[in-house]
Amino acid sequence: MSSSSLPGSSSSALHPLVPYGWDADWEAEFAPYAEQGLLPGRVARVDRGLCDVITPAGVVRADTEFVVPRDPMKVVCTGDWVAVDPEGSDPQYVRTLLPRRTAFVRSTSSKRSEGQVLATNIDHVVICVSLAVELDLGRIERFLALTMSSSNGEALLHKSALAWESGAQPLVVLTKSDLVPDATGRSYLVQDVETAAPGVQVLAVSSVTGEGMDVLAAVASSGTSVLLGVSGAGKSTLANALLGEDVMEVQATRDMDGKGRHTTTTRNLFALPGGGVLIDTPGLRGVGLWDAETGVGQVFSEIEDLAEECRFHDCAHESEPGCAVLAAVADGTLPERRLDSYRKLLRENQRIVAKTDARLRAELRRDWKLRHAEGRAAMAAKRGRL
C-alpha cells in the first residue's frame, strides 16, 4: 500500500489538517508513521496526561503514556504534531512526536535549571499588553528577550528563544485601546513601547471599537500565532474576536490593579475562520529567562551597537574609561532605564545558565571574588587617606 492511500496521507491540498498547519514538509516527516497505519494529528489541548488531538478522523482524546520523557522540554505540548493510533483503537495513544520547528520556552520557578515549553511550532508570538494599567516597559522587554531567544528544532530545545531566532516573529499588541480615547495619548504610548522594542511591530487594538483588529487578523491568518501575556491582558477577548465567536471564557479585571482571574487554565489551539491557527494561553505570573542571551542582545540592540565603540572589548559598562554606553547615558541619547533593564536581564540569564554550566559558575565566582577584593582594596585606600 502506498503512503498516499493511507488514512494519514495528504496527497492533496484539501487534506483536512491543512487548516491546522499541515503542509508538504509535515507530510514528509510523517511518512514513516503513515506506513505503519498511524494517524497524523495536531495537539489542541493537554490536560493531566491526556490530550485532544485534531486528526483527519476528527478530534480524538489520546493518552500520552508512551511519550513521557524525563526531559521536561520534550513533553507533549499544545501545537505539537504527533502520530496517534488509528481510528477504532481503544484507548488511543500518542505514539511519537514529530520534530518541532519552533518552541516558546521559559524557565520554571523551580530552583533547578529547568525549562517549560509553553507552545510549539509557532510562527508569530503576540505579546498582549493592557492599556487599562500603567505600561511596564521592563516586562515587555523581558517577554521580547525570551521570544527572540526561542529555539527551533532539537537544538532549540536546549537553547531558548521566543521568536526571531526560531523564525517566529514577535508582535506587541496594546489591548483595550478604547480605554485611552485620546489619539495623541495612544500614539505616545505606542512610541514608548517601540523604544523598548526596536524592530518589533507595535499595534494598538480594541475588540470594542475594532481598532487594529484587521491588521492583527491579517498577521494571524498566516501560520500559527500564540497569545502571551499576564492575566487581564485581554488575550481571551482577542481570541474570541479573531474566532468570531465566544469560545474562550472572559471575566472582568479587578478595578484596583487591572489584574485578571486566570479564566484560561489550559493552552488551547483553534483554526481561524480567515486562515491561520491560534493558540491562547493562561496568564503568566512570571516569565523566567531560559538561555536568552541572544534575545537580550536583540532587544537591546542599540546598547550592543554602542558597546562595539567602547575602549575595552570586555567593558562591563559600569565605570570603565572610554565606555561609549555610559557616554550615551550621560548625553541623554540612551535612557538609563534601558541600561538598567539590560543589566538586570543579563545577570538573570547568567544565573540560569550557570545552574547547568560548571565552567560558567566558576567564572562567575572568580569575577565575584575579584570585585570583592577590589572593593576591599578601595575601602582600605580610602581609609588610609582619611
Percentage of the chain beyond pLDDT 90 is: 45
Torsion angle defined by CA atoms of residues 311, 315, 318 and 324, in that order, rounded to the nearest 10 degrees:
40
10 Å CB burial of residue 54 (0-12, 13-18, 19+) is buried
Residue whose C-alpha cell is 582619611: 386
pLDDT at 242 > cutoff 90:
yes
Instruction: Say if CB 339 and CB 329 are below 8 A apart.
Output: yes
- Residues 366-379: pLDDT tens digits? 654 555 555 566 55
Handedness of CA 214, 215, 220, 226 (dihedral sign): negative
pLDDT at 284 > cutoff 80:
no
Give the integer Cα–Cα distance in Å for 345 and 142: 7
Determine the pLDDT at residue 320: 87
Percentage of the chain beyond pLDDT 70 is: 71
Determine the pLDDT at residue 108: 55
Determine the pLDDT at residue 266: 77
- Residues 176-188: pLDDT tens digits? 999 998 999 999 9
In 3D space, the residue among 119, 168, 186 whose CA is nearest the CA of residue 298 turns out to be: 168
- Residues 148-174: pLDDT tens digits? 655 443 333 333 333 343 457 899 999
Determine the pLDDT at residue 168: 77
Determine the pLDDT at residue 70: 76
Determine the pLDDT at residue 107: 62
Give the integer Cα–Cα distance in Å for 21 and 71: 26
Stretch 258-262: mean pLDDT, rounded? 47
Residue 301 grid coordinates: 540592540
In 3D space, the residue among 237, 210, 209 whose CA is nearest the CA of residue 130 turns out to be: 237
In 3D space, the residue among 261, 260, 212, 213 whose CA is nearest the CA of residue 240 turns out to be: 213
Q: How confident is the model at residue 291 (pLDDT cuts 50, 70, 90)?
A: low
Determine the pLDDT at residue 115: 66
Question: Lowest mean pLDDT: which of 91-95, 255-259, 276-280, 323-327?
Answer: 255-259
Determine the pLDDT at residue 157: 33
Determine the pLDDT at residue 341: 87
- Residues 335-346: pLDDT tens digits? 999 999 888 888
**Residue 3 vs residue 93, higher pLDDT:** 93
What stretches of the chain show up as alpha helix (H) in DSSP?
A: 24-34, 137-147, 153-156, 183-196, 213-220, 235-243, 293-299, 301-307, 324-330, 336-354, 358-385
Other C-beta atoms lying within 10 Å of the C-beta of residue 43 = 25
Instruction: Say if CB 78 and CB 97 are below 8 A apart.
Output: no
Query: What are 277's strand-pairing partners?
Result: 224, 271
Stretch 20-38: mean pLDDT, rounded? 95
Residue 208 grid coordinates: 470594542
**Residue 162 vs residue 318, higher pLDDT:** 318
Instruction: Say if CB 294 and CB 149 are below 8 A apart.
Output: yes
Give the integer Cα–Cα distance in Å for 26 and 119: 17
Stretch 241-249: mean pLDDT, rounded? 81
Q: How confident is the model at residue 248 (pLDDT cuts 50, 70, 90)?
A: low
Task: Please give the span between the terminal C-alpha atoms of the chain, in angstroms, as a whole number.
Answer: 92
pTM, 2 dp? 0.75
pLDDT at 259 > cutoff 80:
no
In 3D space, the residue among 204, 182, 183 whose CA is nearest the CA of residue 193 turns out to be: 204
Name the average pLDDT for the chain: 79
Determine the pLDDT at residue 256: 45
- Residues 42-54: pLDDT tens digits? 999 998 889 999 9
**Residue 190 vs residue 247, higher pLDDT:** 190
Greatest alpha-carbon pair distance for the chain in Å reads 92
Residue whose C-alpha cell is 494517524: 39
Determine the pLDDT at residue 158: 32
pLDDT at 365 > cutoff 70:
no
Give the integer Cα–Cα distance in Å for 206 and 31: 43
Determine the pLDDT at residue 347: 80
